[in-house]
Structure 1
């Protein structure tokens, strides 16, 4: 990897944090980006925090696709990034949009990156703390305003009393002059005092009314200022039972930081909790949802789909191990399937659909009743029937597929024609294909190889855990060598390499065990 002169100089500048006060004030805005990248690369969390706190641009994007040779930011740097955003709120930095979508990595990797769950908890904590800090600042400002109003009121009272004393003396002088001049209507001292008191009470009441109307104003301004959004935070959220309360508090918090979710992943959460979570999300931010290990059932999924249709940009839906099983007949099953089909049909922008271990044999037509053709279709462990594969090969999705995963679905003589038809329809678009663990023998593979050779756009092919002999593997490699775009081939061990005792037609689990 060739480093530019700017990146080399930036790494040298951020290497010594003790010198940051001398150079940070003179840095032009064009160099903040290279300095921040160097701070992440060299793991300088203090430099990260100071740069983000003074960020001069309206938008800051961290994450997404990493460059070649670039490692994920460390946990300390991410924590310093979030702390810098909060500190920048008081300094009124130019930052308005923080986009950290795709920043989370697997837990425990090289450089201690922050995983999805940890990053979600840290983000939600930051949002809640920023709201609490804004409320404290508003309360202090309100106290100062109230003290200032009280001081002004006392000053007005003193001036009013001083003026009233002068007026009283003037009236007394006028009365004395009138008595000397022999006035016909003399004013007694008691009447004079009553008139002065009456005027004082009237002025005091007017002052109280004015102060009361002004006293409610700071409270209103405090509430409005507390609800003012200064920075929109876009991120991917990973929610499970342990982080559920924290995420709900952050999404419902009205403070200077507004949390927006791009891709939502939930695990082991009930249907009602998922529904509550979706109601808290901004409608135009969510792009995809991934539900795993949750007891949804067909009825629960049919209940969630109308709510998912309210997100206009939703293009990805992933369901893994959600206990969708209709192999057993139950009352009202046809109506539930009809609702499921209608709910999926309302997802107008859906382009990626991943369904794992749902056990819905013969119902692929219901699951693929989408108005627009899919680009990514993953159906592993789905117990697909020959009728399912026949429907898929003739559906409007076949010619637009970029990625197809049919792993661990049993293929035999009755399903090979449907697979060949499907691959022929997708030959010009298909880039990634997985047929691992599908029980492909040498004979079945020989019938598929001519069709696979016609998929000229294919970049990766996975055929692991299939019972192929060494002769079958040689034929596979010879075909793969003639495919112009193929860059990755995942093949199984030949049957000759296994220890004795393997069945004649072993399953993928038996191949993995042996």
Structure 2
């Protein structure tokens, strides 16, 4: 009740920007967070800017996991926040860490959120602007220092002239001698004060040269700490880089200034291996948790080249490779050696817990790739053309008993592979929370054999079985099994074969089910109502059923 009242009052306060000069200076620091949340939710960019510019704490986190129904912050509010951070640098703001990890929304979503690519570009622009502002401020400070030194020099010259004049007039008494000595000493003090800044700069430059000269593998962190000493605000974010934004991101990461950009998750699309290497070389070694490479023609050699560099990031937990042009189906010369290098490179990623390989075409090679010393918690292998030997290895591997998320979509299953899948589900029954078997060719008969193993997964929260050739009878058996699983919260089921127009093959593929039109004369809602009736009869209002593949999360 108290939080609700604070939220309502904060929303009312930020609604009128014209009154902000009256209340802002009287706001206690404990209420800044509630006011900022109200400004974001009410889309008040001016209020966001003023609150962030005067932020009273050392850290500010905007983003993270959103509550159900909560939308991503508006684009204008985010831009206003970033501008306020730059303005706050000159106002000696208390802010030292700005955490924007997880802030980005979906491009083109409701409420005009800022997507990952747009946020990355805006952050890089902010870093460059802050650097330019610091340089302008430094030049102004240098001009003021030169004017002060010139004034000291003029004053010193005047004092020398006065002393010389007095000496020429014949003032040789003890009192006159003492006055002359004081004038001489004041002149030396002026010279010392004038050269103090120059000596300090020379000492700092020599110290930096010694640091650079002694750089090695272990000295890199020392160099980063030396650079961080000049940083006023550390900005943490998830970066999305493609060919259009690569140059801007490279410039921002290589720019030293009051803002330092740090990356938690790096996603790159359609850029070369050399460009990826450049980005990784510019990132701080600590802090990177995952890298996602998509639609980049790495090839076997390119991936083998990147893996040793990835092993230098000690906290790296996630590696995702999607459509990266790795194909081992053909008999290429040196294929065994290349696979061995990939296996050794993956084994060096000591903290790896998530591995996603999409459409890499690695039939029969799963044992080589997953020969890791530590077990994986998340394993995604869609479109990999897995062989029976691959699935047999996976079901007996040390990964099976700790898997929390498994995606085997678009890998054809049949009577030969079903025993391996059942053994795999039995091994992962106490840990598996999310399972996707979409597009695996599961018929009513195969699904019936698999249902007991699925029901034995006591921790399963979501199950995806889209684009499988199931009938209405098969779906009813699936839902009856689902309502008996107390942990299950989401079920993505396929459209039954009865809902499609005539002409489908007897065993259609997932691509055919995706492209084949539904029969408009059939009441599609009838299937949904039948399945929901099973939910109502069982009292499972907490289980969400959907056949909407595009919007399923």
- Counterpart in the other structure of 2:76: 76
Query: Deviation at 1:349?
Result: 0.7
Deviation at 1:328, TM superposition (A): 1.5
Match for residue 44 of structure 1? 44
- Give distance in 1, aligned partners of 2:136 and 2:429: 62
Cα RMSD of the aligned pairs, angstroms, is 2.4
- Matches of 1:209 and 1:333 in 2, distance apart? 72
Alpha-carbon offset, residue 352 of structure 1: 0.9
Is the Cα–Cα contact under 8 Å of residues 142 and 218 in structure 1 kept in the other structure? no
Which residue, 354, 357, 361 being the options, matches 1:355? 357
The 5 Å alignment of 1:150-161 reads 150-161=150-161
Deviation at 1:512, TM superposition (A): 1.0
Does 326-335 or 390-399 show the bigger shift?
Answer: 326-335
User: Could you report, residue by residue, the CA deviation over 1:218-259 in whole angstroms, capped at 9, with x for unpaired residues?
Assistant: 766999999711111100000011111111111111101111
Query: Does the 8 A contact of 2:403 with 2:431 survive in 1?
Result: yes
CA contact (8 A) 1:74 1:111 kept: yes
Aligned to 1:182: none
Q: Give the Cα–Cα distance (whole angstroms) in 2 for the partners of residues 206 and 477 of structure 1.
A: 92
1:110–1:217 Cα change, 3 Å? farther
The 1:446–1:218 alpha-carbon spacing in structure 2 relative to 1, beyond 3 Å, is same
- Deviations along 1:301-337, one digit per CA (max 9) or x if unpaired, are 1111111111111111111000011112222221111
1:97 match? 97
Displacement of 1:214 after TM fit? 3.6
- Per the alignment, residue 534 of structure 2 pairs with none
Alpha-carbon distance change, 109 to 142 in structure 1, aligned in 2, over 3 angstroms: same
Query: In structure 2, what is the Cα distance between the partners aligned to 1:238 and 1:254?
Result: 21
Aligned match of 2:421: 419
Aligned to 1:216: 198
| 1:365-404 per-position Cα deviation (integer Å, ceiling 9, x unaligned) | 1221222111111111111111100000000000101111
Cα distance in 2 for residues equivalent to 1:222 and 1:17: 46
- Taking a change above 3 Å as real, the CA distance of residues 144 and 220 of structure 1, as seen in their structure-2 partners, is farther
Give the structure 2 partner of residue 269 of structure 1.
271
Query: Could you say which residue in structure 1 is the equivalent of 2:115?
Result: 115
**CA distance in 2: counterparts of 1:76 and 1:448, whole angstroms:** 50
Q: TM-score, normalised by structure 2?
A: 0.84
Say which SS state the counterpart of residue 359 (structure 1) adopts: coil
Paired residues for 1:36-435 under 5 Å? 36-170=36-170, 210=192, 213-214=195-196, 216-217=198-199, 228-435=230-437
- Report the CA distance shift for 1:437/1:302 in structure 2 as closer, same or farther (over 3 A): same
Cα separation, partners in 2 of 1:502 and 1:68, compared to 1, 3 Å: closer
Contact 1:226 1:255 in 2 (8 A): no
Aligned 8 A contact 1:138 1:222 in 2: no
C-alpha deviation, 1:497, in angstroms: 2.0
The SS at the match of 2:169 is helix
Matched, 1:6 2:9: no
Deviations 1:36-95 (A, max 9, x none): 000001111011001000100111000001123322110000001101111111111111
The gaps in structure 2 that reach 5 residues or longer are 174-180, 206-225, 517-553
Is the 2:156–2:190 Cα contact (8 Å) retained in structure 1?
Answer: no
CA distance in 2, matches of 1:206, 1:24: 50
* Residues 1:513 and 2:495 are matched in the alignment: no
Contact residue 308 and residue 347 of structure 1 kept, 8 A: yes
Worse-matched range after superposition: 446-455 or 208-217: 208-217
Could you say if the C-alpha distance between residues 480 and 207 of structure 1 is closer, same or farther in structure 2, counting changes exceeding 3 Å?
A: closer
Helix, strand or coil: the match of 1:98? strand
| CA displacement at 1:478 relative to structure 2 | 1.6
- Computing the radius of gyration from Cα coordinates, the structure with the larger value is 1
| CA distances 1:424-474 after superposition (whole Å, capped 9, x unpaired) | 000111111111100111121111111111112111111111111222222
For 1:171 and 1:21, how far apart are their aligned partners in 2?
A: 64
CA distance in 2, matches of 1:424, 1:225: 52
Distance 2:372 2:73 in 1: 39
2:436 and 2:463 in contact (8 A); partners too: yes
C-alpha distance in structure 1 between counterparts of 2:17 and 2:424, whole Å: 60
Q: Which runs of 4+ in 1 moved over 3 A?
A: 202-215, 217-227
Query: In the alignment, which residue of structure 1 is the partner of 2:32?
Result: 32
Within 1, Cα distance between the matches of 2:484 and 2:196? 82
CA distance in 2, matches of 1:57, 1:220: 35
Matches of 2:489 and 2:413, distance apart in 1: 25
Decide whether aligned partners of structure 1 residues 231 and 72 sit closer, same or farther in structure 2, where only a CA change above 3 A counts.
same
Does structure 2 conserve the Cα–Cα contact (< 8 Å) formed by 1:142 and 1:219? no
Separation (CA, whole Å) in 2 of partners of 1:377 and 1:13: 48
Name the SS of the counterpart of 1:259 in structure 2: strand
